[in-house]
């Protein structure tokens, strides 16, 4: 079962996909658009990627504030979630993405990516972190359930 991970921003959407076993996340691409509210082509591209990879679910980063409040960006993510569900027919899970962009930036710096090139990769890397966090969570839950059955 493959899962798409998305980092939804005002002008870009970073995209990642899980391996078939649902263990690891890999970055695919960053979808760019000219205007924030022009989403038709973005949704169409996500549909193509979901079909191409046989995704059964989408994990969408949910940018809550550090104090857990839902701000304007998070409200836009909820609206995008609803559009994705209508467009793809797939379940879309909102997943806490706090600090993933910071983590992605740090990873790029540690990898020696030049400042001017980081912008090209940051959303895709953030999508990887969002999806990997989700995969780790469901695999941890499965592991606990499996260990409970052996006792």
Query: pLDDT of 56-98, one tens digit each?
Result: 999 999 987 677 677 788 899 999 999 999 999 999 999 988 6
Query: 52: helix, coil or strand?
Result: helix
pLDDT at 150: 52
* Range picked from 44-48, 97-101, 111-115 for highest mean pLDDT: 44-48
| DSSP label at residue 104 | H
**Average model confidence (pLDDT) across the chain:** 86
Phi-psi region of 3 (alpha: psi -120 to 50; beta: other; left: phi over 0): beta
State mean pLDDT over 18-22: 94
Residue 15 has pLDDT above 80, yes or no: yes
pLDDT at 74: 83
CATH number for the region 2-150 comes to: 3.30.420.140
pLDDT at 149: 56
What is the token pair recorded at 82?
A: 């609803």
CB-based contacts of 22, cutoff 8 Å, min separation 6: 1, 2, 3, 135, 138, 139
The phi, psi pair for 95, rounded to 5°, reads: -130, 130
Strand partners, 8: 13
Burial class (CB in 10 A: 0-12, 13-18, 19+), 13: buried
More confident residue, 150 or 108: 108
What is the token pair recorded at 42?
A: 């973005």
Question: What residue ranges do the domains of the chain occupy?
Answer: 2-150
Query: pLDDT of 119-130, one tens digit each?
Result: 777 788 889 999
pLDDT at 121: 76
More confident residue, 37 or 108: 37
pLDDT at 85: 97
Query: pLDDT of 24-60, one tens digit each?
Result: 999 999 999 888 778 999 999 999 999 999 999 999 9
How far is 64 from 84, CA to CA, in rounded Å? 19
């Amino acid at each position: 079962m493959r899962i798409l991970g998305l980092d939804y921003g005002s002008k870009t959407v970073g995209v990642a996909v899980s391996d078939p076993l649902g263990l690891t996340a890999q970055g695919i691409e960053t979808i760019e658009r000219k205007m924030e509210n022009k989403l038709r082509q973005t949704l169409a591209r996500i549909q193509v990627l979901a079909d191409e990879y046989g995704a059964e679910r989408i994990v969408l980063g949910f940018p809550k504030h550090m104090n857990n409040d839902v701000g304007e960006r998070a409200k836009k993510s909820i609206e995008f979630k609803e559009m994705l569900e209508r467009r793809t027919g797939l379940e879309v899970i909102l997943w806490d993405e706090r600090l993933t962009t910071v983590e992605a930036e740090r990873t790029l710096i540690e990898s020696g990516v030049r400042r001017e090139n980081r912008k090209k990769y940051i959303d895709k890397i953030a999508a990887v972190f969002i999806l990997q966090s989700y995969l780790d969570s469901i695999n941890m839950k499965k592991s606990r359930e499996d260990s409970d059955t052996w006792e």
